[in-house]
Structure 1
Amino acid sequence: MVWQKRETWFMFIAVLTLIPSAFFLVVPKGKLVQAGRLIIGSSRITNETKDDIVKVHDEYAGDTNGYQSDQPELTESQLSTIMLRRWSPSVQCDDDSMSLHIQGSRVPSFLVETSEEGLVPLSQMPSNCGFSLRRAHRDVALVAKYTGCNVAQQGDSYILPLRVSGVAVKMVCPVACPLTVSCSPSAMVVNLGVSTAAVRLKVNGVWQ
């Protein structure tokens, strides 16, 4: 299941024709933050399955008479997944780290999946592993450096497997692409490797 905001990663590619015009590409300074993905379990969440989960939760929450024979018994894993979804988790990706944000002031149990020691509590991870926990008034954020322990690069993504209050999840962020320029007799192609929202284009003195 994938829990994510409906945002898509785009690669900004500008094709500049070689005619008598002045072009300026401006990328804002500072950290570039974009939405990542949180994969829960092994299957993708659709709108239908999201509705089913909420429906099942509401049926159980509204049952004041206890167990009913026509209700399926939820497993501990299913209940934990419902609880996790209620926290409105989201992943943010910036230049050098990824962060998992969970709504509420309560700090859930974070376990890091390691290849050597299995599941290790976040509080027991070495300080040089690049993990930190940040608390705000309305949310808790687990921050992990891309270069830190147990963050793997698979293809064009950084992936960190975790357990959040017993639920297996994976944080996923895109790998930043370096700026590249390719030229032809009539045009040049500038690949900035950032989202379109992060770039401004000025043509002949007019911002596009």
Structure 2
Amino acid sequence: MCNRMIRKRKGAGVYLAAAVILTCYFAQTSDCYRLKKTKRREGRKDADTTNGFQEGTIVFGRAFKKGSGLDSHVTDGTKKSSSNAYEEDEGDYQADAAGWMSPTQVASPKDSSWMRMSPSLQCGSGQLKFRAVGPGASQFAVEQGNAPPMPLSKVPSTCGYSMQRNSHALVMLVPYDGCNMVQEGGRYVLPMRWQGIPLYLWCSKPASPPVSLPASLPASLPASIPAALLPHLLPHLLLPKQLPLIPL
């Protein structure tokens, strides 16, 4: 009887030790996975910067009209410590969708779902790149002015959009001359909707590079001139040099 109880205690001790070892192993594996996932995200951000993409601004929960001046609606939008700036305001958002969150209110389920997708915006020289991962990634639509918003699945191929998407992920490339892109001041703005909530993808216009002149131009001219002045200078710069007179 005593031997049987001792064996049972030993068996229980072995099971307990095995459980502790497995728990530690899975905890280390989970930490390692999170670390690798973080490194992958940082690597993607570094790659975006290397490829000429810069961080853009996402304005979430406001309704703008063209010409209203986006600067007056965004507070310090480019100096946020997070990957993008999210601005929310009571105005039109409260009329368009329920569950608006003010600074003194608890976040609604839609606000929480939006943030869980970790949306990001990168701005290139000729296009923007928008990414969202999580439930709800398939529920984006493009604003069309007075017409109803168009789901991304129905955007014509002639609009130039390039998308990789499923029910839980979206990666979208949109050229600045694509359909429904708005130019507001010095920025490109793509008005969209997510579950009926207005949002805007906002990229600053890239600076025009200076035009390099041929090396044969007079040394007194600068190596480069602003592109806006080039049409006025070219007729004078391209005149043939006066040939020397040859005595007969």
TM-score by length of 1: 0.52
Please point out which of 116, 124, 129 is paired with 2:154. Answer: 124
Distance 1:190 1:101 in 2: 38
Please point out which of 127, 139, 145 is paired with 1:115. Answer: 145
Task: For residues 155-198 of structure 1, give each alpha carbon's deviation from its aligned partner in whole angstroms, at most 9, with x where no partner exists.
Answer: 111000001233210001111111237xxx9x98989xxxxxxx
Distance 1:101 1:114 in 2: 21
The count of aligned residue pairs is 135
Please point out which of 126, 130, 134 is paired with 1:100. Answer: 130
Q: Residues 138 and 165 of structure 2 are in contact (CA less than 8 Å); yes or no, is this contact kept in structure 1?
A: no
Amino acid at match of 1:152: V
Q: Which runs of 5 or more structure 2 residues have no equivalent in the other structure?
A: 1-49, 63-72, 81-97, 102-107, 212-219, 227-248
The yes-or-no answer on 1:169 pairing with 2:225 is no
Structure 1 residue 115 displacement after superposition: 2.3
Please point out which of 160, 174, 180 is paired with 1:150. Answer: 180
Number of the residue aligned with 1:33: 53
Q: Which fold has the larger relative contact order, with Cα–Cα distance below 8 Å and residues 6 or more apart in sequence?
A: 1
- What are the equivalent positions in structure 2 for 1:133-144 lying under 5 Å apart? 133-135=163-165, 139-144=169-174
Structure with the higher fraction of residues in helix conformation: 2
Amino acid at match of 2:55: A
Distance 1:85 1:45 in 2: 19
Task: For residues 90-122 of structure 1, give each alpha carbon's deviation from its aligned partner in whole angstroms, at most 9, with x where no partner exists.
Answer: 111112211211133763301110125231111
Distance 1:143 1:105 in 2: 20
Q: Which runs of 5 or more structure 1 residues have no equivalent in the other structure?
A: 1-29, 48-74, 192-208
TM-score by length of 2: 0.45
Amino acid at match of 2:59: I
Q: Residues 108 and 165 of structure 1 are in contact (CA less than 8 Å); yes or no, is this contact kept in structure 2?
A: no
What SS does structure 2 have at the residue aligned with 1:82?
Answer: helix
Distance 1:133 1:149 in 2: 14
Greater C-alpha Rg: 2
Structure 1 segments, 4+ long, off by >2 Å, are: 41-47, 75-79, 103-108, 115-118, 187-191
Distance 2:116 2:130 in 1: 14
Please point out which of 175, 190, 195 is paired with 1:160. Answer: 190
Structure with the higher fraction of residues in strand conformation: 1
Q: Identity, % of aligned pairs?
A: 27
Distance 1:173 1:121 in 2: 22
Structure 1 residue 32 displacement after superposition: 1.0
Structure 1 residue 147 displacement after superposition: 0.8
Task: For residues 47-96 of structure 1, give each alpha carbon's deviation from its aligned partner in whole angstroms, at most 9, with x where no partner exists.
Answer: 8xxxxxxxxxxxxxxxxxxxxxxxxxxx4455323321221111111122
